[in-house]
Amino acid sequence: MRVVVIGHGMVGSRFAEELVAADPGAEVTVLGKEPVPAYNRVLLSGVVAGSTDPALLAMAGPAHPRLRVLTGVAAVDIDRQARTVRDATGHDHAYDVLVLATGSAARVPAIQGVADDRGLVPGVHVLKDLADATGIVDQAVGARRAVVLGAGVLGIEVATGLAARGLSVRVVHLGQRLMERQLGWEAAQVAVGSLGRLGITTHVGASVAGVLTRRDRLSGVRFGDGLEAAADLFVMCCGTSPETVLARRAGLTCDRGVVVGEDLCSPDDPAVFAVGDCAQPPEGGRGLVAQGWEQARRLVARLSRADGGPGADGTTDVVRVKAVGLSMVSMGLSGDFDREDPRYRVLSLKDPERGRYVEVVVAGGLLVGATCLGDAEVGATLSALYTRSMPVPEDPALLMVRALAGGGPGVVSRAPADLEDGDRVCSCNSVSAGAVRAAVHGGCRTAVEVSRRTRASTGCGDCRSTVEALVAATASEQGSQQTHPDLVRSQS
Amino acid sequence: MVPTSARETVGPLSGGPTATHCPYCALQCAQTLLRTPEGRLPVEVRSRDFPTNRGGMCQKGWSSAEVLAAPDRLTTPLVRRDGRLVPAAWDEALDHVHARLEAIRAEHGAEGVAVFGGGGLTNEKAYTLGKFARVVLRTPYIEYNGRFCMSSAAAAANRTLGVDRGLAFPLADLGDADVVLLVGSNPAETMPPLAQHLAGARAQGGLVVVDPRRSATARLTADGGGVHLAPVPGTDLVVLLALTHVLVDEGLVDADYLAARTTGWEDVLASISRWWPERAEAVCGVPADTLRRVARRLAAAAPVHGGGGAYVVTGRGMEQSAHGTDTVSAAITLALALGLPGRRGSGYGPLTGQGNGQGGREHGLKSDQLPGYRHIADPAAREHVARVWGVDPQDLPGPGVPAVELLRRLGTGGGPRALLVHGANLVVSAPNVGAVRKALGRLDLLVVSDVVPSETAMLADVVLPVAQWAEEEGTMTNLEGRVIRRRRALDPPGDARDELWVMRELAARFGVELSDDAREVFDEMARASAGGKADYSGITYDRLDAGEALYWPCPADRPEGTPRMFQDGFATPDGRARLVAVDHRAPADDVTGERPVHLVTGRVLQHYQSGAQTRRVEELVEAAPGPVAELSPVLADTLGLEDGDRVRVSSARGSLTVPARVTDAIRPDTVFLPFHWAGELSANLLTTDATDPVSGMPEFKVCAVRVERVARAVPAPEEVLA
């Protein structure tokens, strides 16, 4: 089976590697238009933030004799009759199965002056590939003021990343609140406060009408209301659109993306499939890599006629913002939904002072949505519950504060005088405070003697100081004058 | 109870003190036994200073003499007649076993008989049992309960480092490290004196414990001692890949070490690149920034960054999984990325569980292994061992099958019709014990050698009473690969006999001569192990009795032994560690709407394994009388139940009813059950027998259950009055 994959991104590369591993009859050719092999696109915002070394993003697996990866070679045409793909060098690649993994492209809004015939003007950027990220980083060095257009997930990641680099950052967002797909009104309000503490100014309901240049370089932006602001870096994070040019030209049905069925196959051609951001499956494309990887896994199972087995983490719509200094996660029902709908029980906790906001949505005993800002532990626990559809407590508020307790004081850290007789002092040997007291009352004068009689602190020894203090306290309660001070170390 | 000196007279049966080691776990705390002819118990147990336990001992060790005098101690052979086990003379019992085995072999061939050993048996007994199976019975079907314990750690170490010795360094080395990462291990409860070696890391805030429960060990991280990560059960692999991801992402790996001492780094990079912390968080439930912090802490402790050393240590919590081998491989990858193994003051190692889990797997209790940790399919290994045994290599059977598969085959078409069990309590300790009980019921002959009437012994056709720790001579190999002496302080009671004698007598009936002298057996085993990975040929009883600290490999030409392995290279053909790319998969029996809670199983301090010994010790039973289901207040609210309520916990395989204990020391998506109890209280009625494809390890540590209240807690009297 000859398989041609167009696109060597996170999904295309994984699909190709897993297919050759699963199917001994598969000969796979991958055409990747970027000049580097597959890398982790999800972490590009980390490159912008300076927390990720771009050299360490590589994702491509080891070489395989039945896997041919052509890097820096774009596909230019699909001939579905001949079942060939022509690449930019004019070479034709025959296929039995064609897999489109062309991904998506950054949307560039119509803003006066952002681009000229040479492309985006210097200082203006989008963030979609590695070159974009390194371009932003180069520009950020020495820059002082940045404007980020679009306060979706990527916009927030870029804004916080640039702020972490010491730039003064403005976020401009056309919508009436930040991240409206993920955050409701209250959550968005809390997020504005948190961003403010990181040195980021937020402008909602605002647009950028034009960019100002000086000597062919960006010098500022003009907002929709006519006001202007100086800026030496302008990053547009206005969403993506599925890359469908080749598919359309080949006569495949495309809507927002390349239309495919549940089996990821195009309705127009049983030999053509699409996975990842370029695909539009019946449930819709979410633009999350988890969905693309799940599709890749399913398609490998289908093509290799193997049992796919359980997925690594299934399809999930958990959105975890990778923002420096800001913990933010949302899942399921979040952002815009009808909070008055009687089917939903919606609880929220708002603590703007600490940048904390937690909202959980329960229906039919299950967690069907959640938003969590400013509490990483709670956010992580909610994600784990949500992805596994676990039942939620009768009182869902229990999920909103430290769902997993971090550790109240153990018995041994209590003051010896406060220990009840039944409290276990030595776990290794099941010795209670009462047994230690009884040993003292029975004539033991030192902790060593008590240990000898009760075996307390003869295991790991961790309770030695507690036993010593308890012996001292008991002895002094007893008014015992026989206890030699050197023999009983008091608790420090 | 003050530790007595290590240099004391060794006087078996002389009436003087006997220097030996605890009968229970692989820490093998040093004990001194004093004869007390007038006492209620035959010996008094004292702790003894030793580098592993430093004079410490837990309640199990202190009370170990109780089992010598267990009221139902087996003291005479029993043979089932008309459905009842009745006393028999040894000759009668052994003749009966011999005749039945011969008949079964005549009808079904050598493969009609199987042998099942235990990780508590001495090296001498493990070796002899392996030889008995291969030379006397000539069956490939030999396995042991260590398959349920160390097989994933062993498989991963073998494929990556070239050899598996448990810890590749003396335990005391841990004490000098800045960071100790413990994944799926709870030594503060399972081998308490070990916690002393964690004090150094705790003092630096460097103890990192990965456990879905805030276990006794996890609590050692409190008050600045370190960090506790509580992942979703079955996701340890994700935690480990994410930690490694951060090292790569932030340029913290030991690149020179990876280049000089490993192969395959480029291959594993792709698998690591898929698990950035935010993605890992949604699967494992550990916050991304916590993963980053821990990875940086590990890196700071690594030699490459001028740190004071770090250790990665694994336990059953992550190994007893259908992906256990891969999970351990990820732990080794993390250690290698940090440049830890084979460097003094740093390293990787699993904590062996059973007393001689290490020695058992080295000397022939595993279906694919010959003495010296040799592979039974390796012609050179067969040749060598056959020569020591005085048989034709052609006559040695080939590899058998791992434990779970062996148990499945019992009594089925073509499967074994007879089973000899030594030192294992299968109907409590195996996964999915309901199915195991049925399998044993299909047999034509079940012979169990034990010290007490364990639940498995009670199902047997013939029960053979044998000696236990204080009644026998031998050696054990502890969790650090150090060979230590077990010494006899007294004779076994009644007609109980040493298993070496039992095997000698049985072999003689087949016309084969075996020795029952422990020292002779050891010397032969040392010869058989010569040239193997676990080479004991430089070790003798005289050297051990002189107090030498001998760690294998200890070949005759390097008699100093090997306290620290891998200093000059790994045990692979090119001396480099072979990194293996792995990826996460969901548990075999994952949570569903019908069974939405993770079950994890484990231990309590007072009990050991199937409880056959410890459930016979009054003070241990008093401290831990029965299993309770631990669950969080959040889960309790979800299920509408309260502390003390009786709950039914059910999996797809079985259910049990126990009291609930509501505690905030566990994740809200998880319930914990200890596995030391039998019959209707056996946690293994619930566990899945899905196994790891490489190691054959069953997935004890995670399955899906449903929890329901069956009765309210009995209210305290004052509440009734109120």
| CATH code, A387 | 3.30.390.30
Higher-pLDDT residue of B421, A401 = B421
Specify if A315 maps to a domain: no
Let me know whether A249 and A234 are in one domain: no
Let me know whether A151 and A226 are in one domain: yes
Q: What is the CATH number of domain B597-721?
A: 2.40.40.20
Give pLDDT, residue B3: 43
Contacts of A301 in chain B (CB under 8 A): none
**pLDDT band at A475, cuts 50/70/90?**
confident
Give pLDDT, residue A308: 52
Contacts of A318 in chain B (CB under 8 A): 282
Specify if A110 maps to a domain: no
Q: Hey, which residues 353-382 in chain A have their CB within 8 Å of chain B?
A: 376-377, 379-381
The chain B residue lying nearest A454, using CA atoms, is: B1
State the CATH number of the domain containing residue A465. Answer: 1.10.10.1100
Q: Which segments in chain B show pLDDT lower than 70?
A: 1-15, 715-722
Among the listed residues B632, B239, B317, B281, the one whose alpha carbon sits nearest the alpha carbon of residue A405: B632
Tell me how far CA of residue B332 lies from CA of A59, B227, B308, B310, B579, in angstroms: 21, 20, 19, 13, 8
Count other C-beta atoms under 10 Å from residue B57's C-beta: 29
Work out the end-to-end distance of chain A between its first and last CA atoms, rounded to an integer number of angstroms: 75
Give pLDDT, residue B38: 86
Specify if A312 maps to a domain: no
Q: Do A384 and B285 touch (CB under 8 A)?
A: yes
Specify if A250 maps to a domain: yes
Give pLDDT, residue B671: 96
Q: What is the mean pLDDT of residues A240-256?
A: 96
Give pLDDT, residue A488: 45
Let me know whether A232 and A249 are in one domain: no
Q: Do A313 and B57 touch (CB under 8 A)?
A: no
State yes or no: pLDDT of A345 exceeds 60: yes
Specify if A313 maps to a domain: no
Give pLDDT, residue B37: 83
Task: Retrieve residue B191's tokens.
Answer: 């081998």
Distance from CA of A251 to the nearest CA of B (A): 34
Q: Do A428 and B192 touch (CB under 8 A)?
A: yes
Give pLDDT, residue B2: 40
Closest in A57, A390, A403 to B591, CB measured: A390
Give pLDDT, residue A165: 93
Q: Does A383 touch chain B (CB under 8 A)?
A: yes
Closest in A56, A390, A413 to B596, CB measured: A390
> Number of residue pairs across A and B with CB atoms under 8 Å?
205
Contacts of B57 in chain A (CB under 8 A): 458-459
CA atoms lying within 13 Å on the CB side of residue B571: 19
Q: Hey, which residues 285-314 in chain A have their CB within 8 Å of chain B?
A: 289-290, 293, 309-314
**pLDDT band at A413, cuts 50/70/90?**
low
Q: Could you give the angle at which helices B324-337 and B151-161 cross, rounded to 10 degrees? A: 40
Let me know whether A274 and A181 are in one domain: no
Superfamily of the domain at B18-68: ADC-like domains (2.20.25.90)
Beta bridge partners of A357: A350, A373
Closest in A58, A392, A428 to B59, CB measured: A428
pLDDT in tens, A110-145: 999 999 888 999 999 999 999 999 999 999 998 999
Q: Do B584 and A313 touch (CB under 8 A)?
A: yes
The CATH number, out of the four listed (3.40.50.740, 3.40.50.300, 3.30.930.10, 1.10.580.10), of the domain defined by the range B78-149+366-518? 3.40.50.740
pLDDT in tens, A62-88: 889 999 999 999 999 999 999 999 999
Give pLDDT, residue A490: 41
Can you tell me the distance from the alpha carbon of A460 to that of A464, in angstroms, rounded to the nearest whole number? 9
Let me know whether A133 and A227 are in one domain: yes
Domain that holds residue A189: 115-238
Can you tell me the distance from the alpha carbon of B385 to that of B388, in angstroms, rounded to the nearest whole number? 5
pLDDT in tens, A262-297: 999 999 999 999 999 999 999 898 888 888 999 999
Closest in B188, B249, B270 to A61, CB measured: B270
The residue among A404, A411, A452, A465 with the most chain B CBs within 10 A of its CB, best to mutate, is A404
Higher-pLDDT residue of B697, A483 = B697
Please check whether the domain covering B152-350 is classified as CATH 3.40.228.10. yes
Q: Do A380 and B193 touch (CB under 8 A)?
A: no
Distance from CA of B559 to the nearest CA of A (A): 33
Residue ranges with strand state E in B65-160:
78-81, 84-87, 113-117, 142-144
**B413 three-state secondary structure:** coil
The structural domain count of chain A equals 4
Specify if A492 maps to a domain: no
- pTM for the model stands at 0.90
Do strands A356-363 and A345-351 pair parallel, antiparallel, or not at all (unpaired)?
A: antiparallel
Can you tell me the distance from the alpha carbon of A151 to that of A153, in angstroms, rounded to the nearest whole number? 7
Let me know whether A234 and A136 are in one domain: yes
Q: Do A384 and B284 touch (CB under 8 A)?
A: yes
ipTM for this model: 0.84
**DSSP of B18-76:** EEEE-SSSTT--EEEEEE-TTSSSSEEEEEB--TTTTT---HHHHTTHHHHT-TT---S
Can you tell me the distance from the alpha carbon of B347 to that of B446, in angstroms, rounded to the nearest whole number? 43
Distance from CA of A322 to the nearest CA of B (A): 7
Q: Do B669 and A385 touch (CB under 8 A)?
A: yes
Q: Do A398 and B634 touch (CB under 8 A)?
A: yes
Give pLDDT, residue A315: 52
Specify if A120 maps to a domain: yes
Q: Hey, which residues 409-438 in chain A have their CB within 8 Å of chain B?
A: 410, 413, 427-430
List chain B domain ranges. 18-68, 78-149+366-518, 152-350, 597-721
State yes or no: pLDDT of A59 exceeds 80: yes
Phi, psi torsion values for A283, nearest 5 degrees: -85, 0
Contacts of B288 in chain A (CB under 8 A): 320, 322, 376, 380
State yes or no: pLDDT of A468 exceeds 70: yes
Alpha helices in B234-287 (DSSP H): 236-249, 255-261, 265-273, 277-284
Can you tell me the distance from the alpha carbon of A393 to that of B638, in angstroms, rounded to the nearest whole number? 3
The residue among A326, A386, A414, A460 with the most chain B CBs within 10 A of its CB, best to mutate, is A460
Q: Do B278 and A320 touch (CB under 8 A)?
A: yes
State the CATH number of the domain containing residue A62. Answer: 3.50.50.60
Can you tell me the distance from the alpha carbon of A18 to that of A301, in angstroms, rounded to the nearest whole number? 9
Contacts of A58 in chain B (CB under 8 A): 269-270, 273
Count other C-beta atoms under 10 Å from residue A144's C-beta: 12
